[in-house]
Chains A and B, each alone.
Chain A
Amino acid sequence: MPMAGRTFFYKTESNPETMRRTYLGEFEEIVLLTVAVLGEGAYGVAIADELESQTGRAVSLSAVHAALHRLEEKGMLKSRLGEATAERGGRRKRLFAVTVLGTRTLSDIRAVRNRLWEAISPQTLPAFGI
């Protein structure tokens, strides 16, 4: 669960001049996006599968779990325990959802990327086959 210390984060972030969003690694960012994509059914295996199909890379469960754990610690994800299924040996899954902070961070990243893309003049990047 996000702790009391997180409030402090919101406060500092609300000041756009000194705003420094929490740093996200590339993998973390993709995991965060995937959670958003999956919506209600975002849990370990589903996220790993989705990642594999989207990126074409083999993704280990432990890497996904580690990223989810870190994102939750940073306050960008929240979680609850879901229902148990037979193929899980009767164990419950942990379902993740993106928090407000997570949403804001994602859109921040996207804004930065967009700004950068717009700043690139069309001739700069070498063309690649269409």
Chain B
Amino acid sequence: MKPPHSPPTWATRLLRAFCAPHLLEEVQGDLEERFQRRVTLFGERVAGRQYAREVLGFLRPFALKRRPNDFSQPVSINSLMFQNHFKIAWRNLIRNKTFSAINVLGLALGMAASMLILLWVLDEWRIGKHHPNAERLYRIMENEIADGRIVTDEDTPGILANELKRVMPEVEYAANMVSVENVLTAGTVTTRQKGLYAGADWFRLYDVPMLAGTAQTANSAPGSIAISENIAKTYFGGAQRALGKTLRFDDWQDCQVTAVFADQPTNAPDQYDYVRNWQDFMRMEQWLTRWENSGPGTRVLLRPGADVANVNAKLKTFLKGRNKDINASFNIELFLQPETEAYLYSNFKNGQRDGGRIEYIRMFVGVALFLLLIAAINFMNLATARSAKRAREVGVRKVVGAGRASLVGQFMGETFLLAMLALGLAVITVAVALPDFNTLTEKQIALPLNTLESWALWLGLVLLVGGLAGSYPALFLSSLSPVRVLKSAVRFGPGTQRFRQGLVVFQFVLSLVMIVGTLVIYQQLRYIQQKNLGFNRSNLLRITREGALIHQYPLFKERLSRMPGVESVTFLKTNPLYNGNTTDGASWPGKDPTVAIQFNNTSVGYNFVETMGLKLLQGRDFSPAFGTDSSNYLINEAAAKRMGFANPVGKPLTFWQRPGTIVGLLKNFHFNSLHVAVRPIIIQLKPAKQPEGGVILVRTAPGQTEQALRSTETLYREMNPKFPFSYAFVDDDFAQQYRSETIVGTLASGFAGLAIFIACLGLFGLATFTTEQRTKEIGVRKVLGASVASIVTLLSKDFLKLVLVAIVIASPLAYYVMQRWLADFAYRIDLEWWMFAGAGLLAVSIALLTVSFQSIKAALMNPVKSLRSE
């Protein structure tokens, strides 16, 4: 008889689930008895609640623990069994040398490549994070909103740091900074070095270790300088001996060494070997004391626990009221960028973070996973394809009592064994390849073998690869029914074969995407390298106008122009390949006064158009023949369009309050990287007599570069003897500008090659296996008169089909991915059908070659041999 009331079903079900079976009856009985009594005492609801609470009370070890079974159970961790598993694994490895080699080699290559990528990614990841206070360090960035565009950069007013520290309680330290390059002299030593002008908080902000002097006073006084250990050694023979010594700057200013700091790590985002006093810089650049002008960077250290969102909110309107230029059509908003993100997330679009090097990290992590997957798939495919050979073993093991778990353990163990072997090989490969890899990527990565962390990482790699590769074969093999596999020869249904084919297709899809990617990257790089920049960048020599040349440039130009090998000489204030100067200080009749139109600008010397090899569309270059040229301007097509002049020559233009006339219209040329479109530029003449630092450009006669270089050096040494002569060719600068793209291109091609190689290793293995299986069939076919060609076709056809399917799947995928990569270039190639066709053709021919090796061998075999033995 069932009592009218019953306890909550879910509680009973729960109890049944967790309570040990041998206790269940008494426990459930007691609970039920109590429940029934409580129903009569308190009602069903209360009784039910208490019942549930009592059930939960039984969640104790004694109730959970199962009584050992009366039947003995196979123990998976049994040393004898383990030895047997190990022995069988080893024998299998040795007996099938080809397949073992393919597996180990594929896994090792995949692992080695992903280890390299992992090391590279970790190195990139750590950049900017080595500072003890990294989490509280920020860079102040600005969004310049004008002319319907937002330009984001690190340029801030030179007085921002002090003001921030004064008015914002959240700011613990703040320092402005500017990167410079100077010639330093002490005694007989003269070298060119990279350094900073920075606020007095700099060393406390970044917590740079000091070897001599203190962080507080390192660069706090005008005329003081803090130098790196490296410089201290080069110039003075040690940190302590450097203290109080004098360093001469650009043969012009003397600075006293007040501190020596530890060398910056080679992967630090800011590379500098000396830090000078900020007031010294501001005294030279008076214009930066105005809030309206921006240029230097600003770095801050927030106090622990500071509310970043709140600081950002205050920064957004910080310049309002300070910068008098801000109005309805022009605004500058400041915001914080964490120092830890500055390196990886350097791109901004419309004021929003828009990737940067992080994209390469993502891309290469993807590539590493692809390579591991491809290698793991090889293993899976070969293991399942050849499972017929292991099926008997599985059957026998099951008959004598092996459980599924122990079989899974056995096969997984075998995979891990193989993965460990592969890891060993991979570590050796990485150790061998690392120096070249470092040269290629311009890094100094070491293979960390002595840290626990790295071993954990490698072990993780083994587990990942072993798990990926081993789980499917282990589950598949252990699922075989002993009756079926022992009764007759094992035949697998079309399901497993289709799965295998799917995996092969997947492998080739991945490889194809990578091949297309490589092709596109190379095409884009070639396009960039061959792109007409609008000026002639070959045979163009660049030297810095410094030292005596600042004042004696006219004489230098005059003498150099007459020397052998030199065609013409000019001066340019900015680097010919990078112009970051923008201003809205231009006006012309008809300009809408409420719109702040931004122009790039620079100043140049005479013979600018000729030396650069620019094309004048209208008007003329600056010329000494016209005395008034110092208030005249050259503009480019983009500027003319922006101003709305169809024929700009002769039109008046007022630039920085100086009224003048446009004398020449230049065809658009690139003065920034090809990532950005050509923008409007206004070029003014810097009168030769006016001292100015910048770049001297020397156009050399074709084929006489050597001679021109010698001429330049001779003259330079004569006229500027205190400075070391250094030069660069503009086309080298140009190549350097696309260095990261070039590196990525080289890496991508290497990894794509590796991917297709590993995939083909697997294909080779599968082909070997199928031909082995069909030896008899081929023999019979040959006896009946089949030709070699028909047999090769028969054997290759199936594999080719898979590759073709892969091409169909991979093409749109690759199209999407590469379209996104190309979107980052303002000037780019179009994706064309032949890139996909080319990659496909490559994959097909490589696959065909791989397979044909086996199929031709099989087709040429003497049928007598293959049919004789049974």
**A residues within 8 Å of B by Cβ?**
43-45, 48, 60-63, 65-66, 69-70, 81, 84-89, 91-94
Assembled-state Cα–Cα distance A63/B27 (Å): 12
B window 11-45: CB within 8 A of A = 23, 25-34, 36-37
Which of B2, B25, B57, B62 has a CB less than 8 Å from the CB of A61?
A: B57
Contact status B54-A61, CB under 8 Å: yes
* B27/A65 in contact, CB under 8 A: yes
Residue B3 CB within 8 A of the other chain: yes
Most buried by B among A60, A63, A65, A93: A65
B36 neighbours in A (Cβ, 8 Å): 87
Chain B residues closer than 8 Å to A63, beta-carbon distance:
57
With contact pairs A65-B27, A66-B62 given, residues A87 and B54 touching in the complex (Cβ less than 8 Å)? no
A84 to B60, CA, bound (A): 26
- Our pick among B23, B29, B63 for the contact of A89 (Cβ within 8 Å) is B29
Contact indicator B26/A61 (Cβ below 8 Å): no
Residues of chain A within 8 A of B58, CB atoms compared: 61-62, 65
21 residue pairs of the A-B complex, CB under 8 angstroms, read: A43-B30, A44-B26, A44-B29, A44-B30, A60-B53, A61-B31, A62-B58, A65-B26, A65-B27, A65-B62, A69-B23, A69-B62, A70-B62, A85-B33, A87-B32, A88-B32, A91-B25, A91-B28, A92-B26, A92-B29, A93-B30
Q: Known interface pairs A65-B62, A86-B1, A88-B33. Does A60 touch B28 (Cβ–Cβ under 8 Å)?
A: no
Give Cα A93 to B26, complex, Å: 5
Number of residue pairs across A and B with beta carbons under 8 Å? 72
**For B26, what are the chain A residues with a Cβ–Cβ distance below 8 Å?**
43-44, 65, 81, 91-94
Distance between B12 CB and nearest chain A CB, rounded to angstroms = 10
Point out the residues of chain B lying under 8 angstroms from A94, CB to CB.
26
Residues of A within 8 A of B29 (CB): 44, 84, 88-89, 91-93
Q: Closest approach, in angstroms, between the C-beta of A82 and any C-beta of chain B? A: 9
In the complex, chain B residues 411-425 whose Cβ is within 8 Å of any chain A Cβ? none
Pairwise interchain contact B3-A89, C-beta atoms closer than 8 A: yes
Residues of A within 8 A of B23 (CB): 65, 69
Which residues from B are CB-within-8-Å of A84?
29
Bin chain B's interface residue count: 20 to 34
Could you give, for residues 59-71 of chain B, a 1 whenever the CB lies within 8 Å of some chain A CB and a 0 otherwise?
A: 0101100000000
**A65–B27 alpha-carbon span in the complex (Å):** 8
Per CB-CB distance, the 3 closest pairs between chain A and chain B, nearest first, are A91-B29, A62-B57, A44-B30
Contact B30 A45 (CB under 8 A): yes
A89 touches B32 (CB 8 A): yes
B743 to chain A, nearest CB (A): 66
List CB contacts (< 8 Å) of B284-318 with chain A: none
Rounded to whole Å, the gap between the CB of A97 and the closest CB of chain B is: 15
Given A63-B57, A92-B25, A87-B33 contact (CB < 8 Å): yes
Contact bitstring B707-742, A, C-beta under 8 A = 1, else 0: 000000000000000000000000000000000000
Closest to B29 in A: A91
**A residues near B3, Cβ cutoff 8 Å:** 86-87, 89
Bound Cα distance from A45 to B3, whole angstroms: 18
Given contacts A70-B62, A86-B1, A92-B25, contact A65 B37 (CB under 8 A): no
Q: Give Cα distance in the complex from A43 to B60, angstroms.
A: 19
Q: CA–CA, A94 to B22, complex, Å?
A: 11
Please list the residues of chain B having a beta carbon within 8 angstroms of any beta carbon in chain A: 1-3, 23, 25-34, 36-37, 53-54, 57-58, 60, 62-63
* Shortest Cβ distance from residue A94 to the other chain B in the assembled complex, whole angstroms: 4
Contact between A45 and B62 (Cβ–Cβ < 8 Å)? Answer: no
Q: Which of B3, B26, B32 has the most CB of A within 10 A?
A: B26
A43 to B27, CA, bound (A): 10
> Would you call B30 and A60 a contact (CB within 8 A)?
no
Contact B62 A60 (CB under 8 A): no
Cβ of B63: which chain A residues have Cβ within 8 Å of it?
A: 62, 65-66
Alpha-carbon distance A66/B58, docked complex (angstroms) = 8
- Which A residue sits closest to B30, measured CB to CB? A44
Residues of B within 8 A of A70 (CB): 62
Cα A60 to Cα B60 with chains together (Å) = 13
CB distance from A55 to the nearest CB of B (A): 17
Complex-state Cα separation, A48 to B37, whole angstroms: 13
Give Cα A109 to B33, complex, Å. Answer: 33
Instruction: Report chain A residues within 8 Å CB of B25.
Output: 81, 91-92
Measured between alpha carbons, how far is A88 from B6 in the docked complex, in Å? 11
For A43, A45, A87, A92, which residue has the most chain B Cβ atoms within 10 angstroms? A87
A43, A61, A89: residue with the most chain B Cβ atoms closer than 10 Å: A89
Q: How far is the CA of A18 from the CA of B2 in the complex (A)?
A: 56
Contact (Cβ within 8 A) B28 A62: no
Residue from the set B2, B3, B30, B54 with the largest chain A CB neighbour count within 10 Å: B30
CB distance from B16 to the nearest CB of A (A): 13
Q: Give chain A residues whose Cβ lies under 8 Å from the Cβ of B32.
A: 87-89, 91
Minimum C-beta distance from A50 to chain B (A): 13
- Please, how many angstroms separate the alpha-carbon atoms of A65 and B57 in the complex? 10
Residues of A within 8 A of B54 (CB): 60-62
A93 nearest CB neighbor, chain B only: B29
Minimum CB–CB distance for A76 against chain B, Å:
15
A48 to B29, CA, bound (A): 14
Nearest CB in chain A to that of B27: its residue:
A65
Measured between alpha carbons, how far is A123 from B153 in the docked complex, in Å? Answer: 89
C-alpha spacing A88/B62, complex, angstroms? 22
**In the bound complex, what is the Cα–Cα distance between A87 and B37 (angstroms)?**
8
B816 to chain A, nearest CB (A): 59
Residue of A nearest to B56 (CB): A62
In the complex, residue of chain A having the shortest beta-carbon distance to the beta carbon of B28: A91
Residue of B nearest to A79 (CB): B26
Alpha-carbon separation in the docked complex, A85 to B29 (Å): 9
CA distance A75 to B611 in the complex (A): 105
- For residue A72, give the distance in angstroms from its CB to the closest CB of chain B: 10
What is the bound-complex CA distance between A63 and B31, given in angstroms? 12
Complex CA gap A48/B27 in Å reads 13
Closest-CB distance, A1 to chain B (whole angstroms): 11
Which residue of A60, A69, A88 is within 8 Å of B57 (Cβ)? A60
Nearest-CB distance from B294 to chain A (Å)? Answer: 72
Give Cα distance in the complex from A104 to B33, angstroms. Answer: 32
- What's the Cα separation between A8 and B1 when bound, in Å? 48
